[in-house]
Chains A and B, each alone.
Chain A
Amino acid sequence: MISKFSRVFSKVDKKFFATYRTAKDIPANLEREKMNLFTAVNNALDITLQTDSKALLFGEDVKFGGVFRCSLGLNEKYGNDRVFNTPLCEQGIAAFGIGLASTGVTAVAEIQFADYIFPAFDQLVNEAAKYRYRSGNQFNCGSLTIRTPCGAVGHGAHYHSQSPEAYFAHTPGLKVVIPRDPVQCKGLLLAAIRDKNPVIFFEPKALYRGAEDMVPKADYELELHVADVVKEGTDVTLVAWGAQMRVISEAAAMAEKDGISCEVIDLQTLYPYDLDTLCQSVNKTGRCIISHEAPITCGLGAELTAAIQEKCFLRLEAPIQRICGYDTPFPLVHEPIYLPDKFKVYEGIKKAVKF
């Protein structure tokens, strides 16, 4: 796996926005506004439509604002030609996005829930991911971005709670990105849209209203392929992404009371991921726990475990643990038992430290 990726900047891009490595690098003097996750998405989409005359936003029900209000006001501002509804056909949406992107249009397609992405799976895996490769770089659909809400929300059950990131992280040619809060979201979404490769941008739906922060009003990007060390520590490395970041942070706080210092890392770009940051951290702590909502078998945690142990084997003090959802379909009433909550992660931390 290639561990370092270089961004191809066009001359126009560099002039108008700044790129920061992580959120910590955003200067404190930038003017900020209180936003939650869907407002941050809305702001990023607004900036995209404003700065890129070839950008289009489309999907089911995006015109009136979208079921999560991410595209609120955009149709009124930019017109039916740029922000429009599609009929109920995910395969069609993805395929049209790929077609548009191949002609140079910046296509931002919304799949209403990640659970519905599967009719589009063939298009994304067989067409979007392989377009550049199979044509020897004559064609590509790099200006395609698929935005989709994912993850548990408390009552979503089988078809409104899934986290399908692993299916796409297994597909070379695609990139998979997921933010943990509004500041990351705006920067990563703008980076994803402007990245010259097809990106699947997962948005944790539980955070749309729940996550609030002071987000810079300016046009800025956060680098892709960079894992963000949210909290430094010395005893255990905790790795997660999206809404699960809150869970591991709470577990780290619980462990803090027992004198265990956890290093908390947000992977951000799930594929291709930043293995260097993870290994640097595990080499420091010697213990690692990876946590995600998706079922444990063949989830992304399995890949990270294999990659980390390969590089850090002699340094490990305890086996790498994966604290994840069980191998069941996402349940309805049993959701609280299924989810990898802070107690399960805390138990994992204690186990790692006592090994």
Chain B
Amino acid sequence: MRFSVRCLEKRTVALKPHVPFALHDPGRVPLAPLPVEATYDTDAIKQNLAMMLRIRRMETLSDQSYKLKKIRGFCHLYIGQEAIPVGMENVLNWQDPIVTGYRDHGWHIVRGGTPFEVFAEMFGRVGGCSKGKGGSMHMYNVKNNFYGGNGIVGAQVPLGAGLAWRFAIENPTAPKNVAVTFYGDGAANQGQIFEAMNIAALQKIPVIFACENNQFGMGTSKKRASYETDFYKRGHYIPGIKVDGMNMLAVQEGTRWAKEHCLAGKGPVVLEFDSYRYMGHSMSDPDSAYRSKSDIQAVRNERDCIAQIKNFLVSEGVMTTDEMEKLDKQIKKEVDQELIKAEQSPPTPMSELYTDIVLGEQYSHRTCQGTVWNTA
């Protein structure tokens, strides 16, 4: 990605997201005031737009590949929610571990992965980020502290709190890093989340409990699944902030607020993103059963994260519509190439069935189809 002129200009704008910030203050620790303005630098924000376009294109191609039966199993698309990883990563660094659920394709490329690794993983080919053994729901990046996608909803939340415990032990009053652990509005009712919150509060663990509220837990509206739908308040004795998840700058500043809170040694915080997914829960979900096309279109017209950033960039004079069109085409071409590369990759070898179960052991098994794995 090259631009002919590099401008590194830092600007500040007032922040007026569609969904205003909201604060839950249990009164146990002092809280900073809610964000009212956002800072951005003109170069980085173009990269942000590129990344959001990249995620959207990658997810669109995943949708097509699934319908062509190139991807089997499950596939949960992030279309609509791209602002969350992109906005957060402006504030987080790659020493801040993150762990999320199964809607993880976007996170993989935001944390240094490539669309090729994502596609190859979903197709079950060599070059996939988990050797093709995990599939859509299990993408990881060890080097950049992306602890992955997880299949069982809610199970990743106590795990994420555990990731941050190290920082609390090493430096209780000023931890060096923060962990972010994601869950959705459906998983918010899992008991283990409350167990994790209690331990995190007791031990002042610098963890951000990030709830991606996309209004529906599969096909169940949040109102029917949760008695309290203000998920940022569900931490009870833990402070919480509600952020407009469709506005990248709001996501950025909300994350900054949360991260600074944790880095000051004040303990955990809940961060709720008011977000929306345009596609069904997964590729096997015909979402016509629980919402209308007009609802989706209304949100898309009013709050789409990419459209918002594009309008913002034009009004701030950072990019012209022509430049954005060019960027669009460039990203499309780039991701399409990655897909072709992934389709040409060889399938994961049979021997991988028997590897990576436990460290240090080998098995052999003779069958009608031949030996599955040789002893060394």
Contacts and interface: CB of A to CB of B under 8 A. Distances in A.
A347 B153 CA distance: 40
Contacts of A87: 186, 189, 217, 225-226
B280 interface: no
A178 B325 CA distance: 57
Interface string A75-90: 0000000000101110
Contact residues of B: prevailing secondary structure: loop
Interface string B167-209: 0000000000000000000110111100000000000000000
Interface string A47-73: 000000000000011001000000000
Interface size range on B against A: 35 or more
B40 interface: no
A85 B357 contact: no
A332 B73 contact: yes
Contacts of B72: 154-155, 333
B219 A88 contact: no
Interface string B53-81: 00000000000000000001110000000
B189 A333 contact: no
A172 interface: no
Contacts of B132: 332-333
B240 interface: no
B289 A64 contact: yes
B329 interface: no
A319 interface: no
A76 to B, nearest CB: 14
B350 interface: yes
Interface stretch (A2-10, A156-164, A207-215): A156-164
Nearest to A341: B368
Nearest to B363: A327
A20 interface: no
B372 A337 contact: yes
B135 interface: yes
B151 A334 contact: no
Interface string A145-168: 000000000111111100000000
A343 B353 contact: no
Contact residues of A: prevailing secondary structure: loop
A159 B74 CA distance: 10
Contacts of A327: 357, 363
Nearest to A347: B368
Contact of A61 (B73, B220, B347, B368): B220
B339 to A, nearest CB: 18
Nearest to B132: A333
Contacts of A347: 367-368
Interface size range on A against B: 20 to 34
Nearest to B151: A159
A326 interface: yes
Contacts of B235: none
Most chain B Cβ neighbours within 10 Å, of A158, A338, A344: A158
A328 interface: yes
A155 B74 CA distance: 8
B225 A85 contact: yes
A301 B354 CA distance: 21
Contacts of B369: 337, 343
B119 to A, nearest CB: 14
A119 B225 contact: no
Contacts of A337: 350, 353, 367, 369, 372
A19 interface: no
Contacts of A60: 218, 220
A91 B133 CA distance: 29
A88 B350 contact: no
Contacts of A331: 133, 353
A166 B151 CA distance: 22
Contacts of B290: 64
Given A61-B218, A119-B192, A337-B350, A332 B186 contact: no
Contact of A332 (B135, B191, B225, B365): B135
A104 interface: no
Most chain B Cβ neighbours within 10 Å, of A91, A329, A331, A332: A332
B191 A91 contact: yes
Contacts of B138: 158
9 contacts: A61-B219, A87-B189, A92-B189, A119-B192, A332-B73, A334-B348, A337-B353, A343-B368, A347-B368
Given A91-B191, A331-B353, A333-B347, 6 more contacts: A88-B217, A119-B192, A159-B152, A160-B74, A333-B132, A344-B367
Interface of B: 72-74, 124, 132-135, 137-138, 151-154, 186-187, 189-192, 217-220, 224-226, 289-290, 347-348, 350, 352-354, 357, 363, 365, 367-369, 372
